[in-house]
A and B are shown apart, each in its own frame.
Chain A
Amino acid sequence: MTGLFLINILLALAWGAVTGSFAEVNLFFGFVLGMLALYIIREQVGSDRYLRRFWLIFVLALTFVYELVLSALRVAAIVLRPKIDLKPGIIAYPLTVDRDFEITMLANLITLTPGTLSVDVSEDRSTLYVHCIDVPDKQATIDDIKNGFERQILEAFR
């Protein structure tokens, strides 16, 4: 995995050397070309997983931006309403991910998504406390996170 990433960077540098330009855009293009090369020889060096992971992280980043826009719009709708009538609450979310950086990532994603804000993690790292700005149905919110971000994180980093 790390090895293939280094090979990909080497390929990008080689592209830079061959074309005689180490400008950022050209190196990035070389990186993409390197990925393409790794894709062509995927059956020989087993780069399938590597490329798939790149793709999943890319999708995760896109989801992140998309959810951020959604949540900003939702906050805007709430704030600009003439009468603010909400049912906020702090719910306990049972974590499936258990590595530190995955929990951090999930907590950050939760904070940037519509109506949720992570407040604390329990001592044993099994529960994430989430503040919801409007939570008529607690289980629906938990299911949303379970089937959305947590699954994506598990797919991208496992």
Chain B
Amino acid sequence: MTPIYEIAVGIVLVVGSIFSLIATIGLLRLKDVYMRMHAGSKAGTLGSGLMLIALAVHAGQVDVLTRALAGVVFFLLTAPVAAHLLAKAAYQAGYKPCADTHIDEMADEAS
């Protein structure tokens, strides 16, 4: 493991953590559940993905690498589905989008 590798792994880890932090700040600052899903599903996925990739490079073994990559792929596959289902459930439960929402064609459809 050369120093260049170590530095690269460190940078990727820090960037991943920053994206996870941003996802958390987004959850706190955005106004309604739909907007919060944006922060959680995107910044969160990228953050965890980057950290898994850093782990894979750091370990430098094929079995760890394949498992970490499988983890990334599952993140990419499941995060959007989870975000989509949460948003759908919230909408069906009658959770109204925040007052700033200026178009709501789903409501138009139902009425």
Is A86 a contact of B35 with CB atoms below 8 Å? Answer: yes
Which A residue sits closest to B31, measured CB to CB?
A84
Contact flags (1/0) for A105-135 with B, using CB distance below 8 Å?
A: 0011101100101111010000101010101
CB of A10 within 8 Å of the partner chain: no
Alpha-carbon gap, A22 to B23, bound state (A): 41
Q: In the complex the two chains form, is A111's CB within 8 Å of B34's CB?
A: no
Instruction: Given A76-B43, A79-B39, A88-B35, check contact A119 B106 (CB 8 Å).
Output: yes
The number of chain B residues with a CB under 8 A from chain A is: 44
B100 touches which one: A24, A88, A91, A120 (CB < 8 A)?
Answer: A88
Which residues of chain A in 119-155 are interfacial with respect to chain B, using CB atoms and an 8 Å cutoff? 119-120, 122, 127, 129, 131, 133, 135, 138
Min C-beta distance of A121 to chain B, whole Å: 9
- A interface: dominant SS: mixed
Interface size class, chain A: 35 or more
Most buried by A among B37, B45, B66, B101: B101
Query: Could you tell me the distance between the alpha carbons of A20 and B92 in the complex, rounded to whole angstroms?
Result: 58
* Residues on A with beta carbons closer than 8 Å to the beta carbon of B77: 108
Q: Is A45 among interface residues, defined by CB-CB distance under 8 A?
A: no
Q: Is B80 an interface residue (CB 8 A)?
A: yes
Contacting residue for B105 out of A79, A90, A111, CB 8 A: A90
Interface residues of B (CB under 8 A from A): 19, 22-23, 25-26, 29-32, 34-35, 37-39, 41-43, 45-47, 49, 62, 66, 76-77, 79-81, 83-84, 87-88, 91, 97-98, 100-107, 109
| Contacting residue for B45 out of A91, A112, A129, CB 8 A | A112
Q: Measured between C-beta atoms, what is the minimum distance from B80 to chain A in Å? A: 4
Q: How far is the CB of B45 from chain A (nearest CB, A)?
A: 7
> Which chain B residue lies CB-closest to A133?
B38
Least CB distance, A134 to chain B, in whole angstroms: 9
